[in-house]
Amino acid sequence: PHGPNQKCKSGPVDLVFLIDSSRSVRPHEFETMRKFLIDILNTLDIGLDTTRVGVVQYSSQVRSEFSLKTHSKLENMVKAINEIVPLAQGTMTGLAIRYLMNEAFSPGQGDRPKVPNVAVIVTDGRPQDRVAEVAAEARERGIEIYAVGVARADMTSLRAMASPPFEDHVFLVERFDLIYQFGLQFQDKLCAIDLSIDLCAEGKHDCGHVCVNMGPGIFTCDCKKGYRLNEDEKSCSAIDLCAEGKHDCEQICISTPGVFTCDCNKGFKLNRDKRTCTNMDMCNTVKHGCDYQCVNTPGSYHCICPEGQLLQDDGKTCGTCKSANIDLVLLIDGSKSVRPQNFELVKKFVNQVVDSLDVSAHGTRVGLVQYSSRVRTEFPLNMYHTAEDIKAAVMKVDYMEKGTMTGLALKHMLEYSFSEAEGARPASRNIPRIGLVFTDGRSQDDISEYAKKAKEAGITMYAVGVGKAVEDELREIASDPVEKHFYYTTDFSAINTIADNLKLNVCPAESQGEVEVKDPCACENLVEFQQATMNSLDQFTQKHILSK
């Protein structure tokens, strides 16, 4: 009655095909089943507002090929059906009907309220599980089931699945090539609905926004995008995502129905992600503590000093030059995770730091401590007075190769390394004391107490980490501002770059015999020198740290 090119107009239907792809279905028979599906689809008025179609195949398991909401166009459905690969296992029809009921006809997969649910089960065999109870439950939920049995199918099982009356819903065809007979009857049934009464078109409805024709004399209401249907199922309310907290704006959420946009407070700028904000005016919104002047950068700030003065180690105060003379103690990690060849690189790193200093008895003094499960002073501050002697001693240091007791090492540094007995100059002389901790991993003991005590004792602490070093521990060791006192790189071969950039923020000085002569004039150049150092440090930080 309906030719292959004749589209029947019916009310909206949600239609799911459940096709048996068990191993007993031979390849050429599966191809017939595929053609049968496509032939039926060609006669239907496919569309998201008319007939929606889903296809599920099953054997011992269930697989949805596409759901009711996946495709709105016939050609996309045909393409998907042509790409189905049979599962070729057992025949768990009961399992498949349960999936149909709980998943395929669910709102999440495109099932529409008040639209008829129709299922067509095509099977060649006897189910290996129980079908009667689950099929009855599916029918009670309003699913109209057609059972199409082919070749070896069992009529009792077909009747247990199908909706009554059986003469309209059960089809047993002896050969796969007779499936099309069912197709003709099925499309007649689906196309027989009279659409003469369209309450939406006639204006006989009370929907606030949208009226949807559900068939003769039936309609349902829907809402425009950004609105939701109220409990009366007629009127609509705007969806306010901001008020409902369904947004991820960092500062300000602006709502329009169903949509939100983000904005920022004054002094902040919306980032590229259109969600988060960057403080563009930190100088006026945080306690920056700059001695002279605060300069904004996006999301940060830095302090500057008047010409001829130098920014001090705290990154905030300004002053004339400090002495180039420092007491420097290096704590190096000799734990077994460092490995021998890397320990040699650590020693070279130490020597590069020494190369950048003005070493002498009255100038800079250097001491070296190695730690693993215990702590050993390799040489104290007063042992060597030339860079060459220090470097030679460093290269002779033996690798301990045990654990990582960083807290113990910090305690040793505080109690012994900076004592006058080991060569630290008296505190009254105000010679800067600098500690540099090098580590490649998490400490096995607590570092908090002695990291804090070292800084309280006036020691400027630098922390250098490689490999599996823990950033939080490095930051805890480092002096303020932390960013200028801790460095991290993923591999040992890159630590020489850190040594190049690690200028221990002090001015040069001249020594004349026993008398130290400070050269305040050197500061004019030093401002430029230190600015260049900071620039190269920033570039290094961005390249080696921020990109991790």
Question: 438 or 315: whose pLDDT is higher?
Answer: 438
Q: Cα separation of 62 and 56, whole Å?
A: 7
Most confident of 168-172, 337-341, 411-415, 489-493: 411-415
Task: Decide whether 13-191 matches 320-546 in CATH topology.
Answer: yes
The whole-number pLDDT of residue 313 equals 62
Judging by beta carbons within 10 Å of its beta carbon (0-12, 13-18, 19+), is residue 303 exposed, middle or buried?
Answer: buried
Q: Is 413 left (phi over 0), alpha (psi -120 to 50) or beta?
A: alpha
Question: 215 or 298: whose pLDDT is higher?
Answer: 298
Binned at pLDDT 50, 70 and 90, residue 494 comes out as confident
Question: 497 or 503: whose pLDDT is higher?
Answer: 497
| pLDDT tens digits along 332-363 | 999 998 899 999 999 998 998 888 777 877 77
Nearest to 447 by CA among 469, 480, 427, 419: 469
In the chain, what percentage of residues exceed pLDDT 90? Answer: 45
Q: Cα separation of 425 and 428, whole Å?
A: 8
208 pLDDT above the threshold of 50 = yes
The whole-number pLDDT of residue 517 equals 36
Nearest to 86 by CA among 146, 175, 2, 19: 19
370 pLDDT above the threshold of 80 = yes
Which residue do the tokens 């950033």 mark? 471
Binned at pLDDT 50, 70 and 90, residue 542 comes out as low
Average pLDDT over residues 112-130: 88
511 pLDDT above the threshold of 90 = no
The whole-number pLDDT of residue 523 equals 33
* Three-class DSSP category at 125: coil
CATH code for residues 13-191 = 3.40.50.410
Q: Cα separation of 36 and 41, whole Å?
A: 9
Average pLDDT of the residues of the chain: 83
Average pLDDT over residues 107-126: 89
The whole-number pLDDT of residue 526 equals 41
The whole-number pLDDT of residue 43 equals 80
| pLDDT tens digits along 290-333 | 888 999 888 889 998 887 677 766 788 776 544 457 899 999 99
Q: Where are the domains of the chain?
A: 13-191, 282-311, 320-546
Which residue do the tokens 């099953």 mark? 58
512 pLDDT above the threshold of 60 = no
Nearest to 94 by CA among 144, 133, 139, 140: 133
The whole-number pLDDT of residue 203 equals 80
234 pLDDT above the threshold of 50 = yes
528 pLDDT above the threshold of 60 = no
| pLDDT tens digits along 183-202 | 666 766 666 544 456 778 87
| pLDDT tens digits along 77-102 | 999 999 999 999 999 999 999 999 99
Nearest to 170 by CA among 156, 184, 180, 151: 156
The whole-number pLDDT of residue 18 equals 95
Contacts of 209 (CB under 8 A, 6+ apart): 221, 222, 223, 224, 227, 236
In this structure, of 268-272, 358-362, 431-435, the range with the lowest mean pLDDT score is 358-362
The whole-number pLDDT of residue 421 equals 93
Q: Which residues pair with 19 in a beta bridge?
A: 57, 122
* Three-class DSSP category at 254: strand
Binned at pLDDT 50, 70 and 90, residue 501 comes out as low
Average pLDDT over residues 225-235: 90
The whole-number pLDDT of residue 429 equals 81
The whole-number pLDDT of residue 179 equals 67
CATH of 320-546, one of 2.40.50.180, 3.40.50.720, 3.40.50.410, 3.40.50.11440: 3.40.50.410
| pLDDT tens digits along 132-162 | 999 999 999 989 999 988 777 888 889 999 9
C-alpha neighbours within 13 Å on the C-beta side of residue 377: 19
The whole-number pLDDT of residue 5 equals 45
In the chain, what percentage of residues exceed pLDDT 70? Answer: 82
The whole-number pLDDT of residue 518 equals 38
C-alpha neighbours within 13 Å on the C-beta side of residue 283: 14
4 pLDDT above the threshold of 50 = no
The whole-number pLDDT of residue 112 equals 92
In this structure, of 270-284, 312-326, 453-467, the range with the lowest mean pLDDT score is 312-326
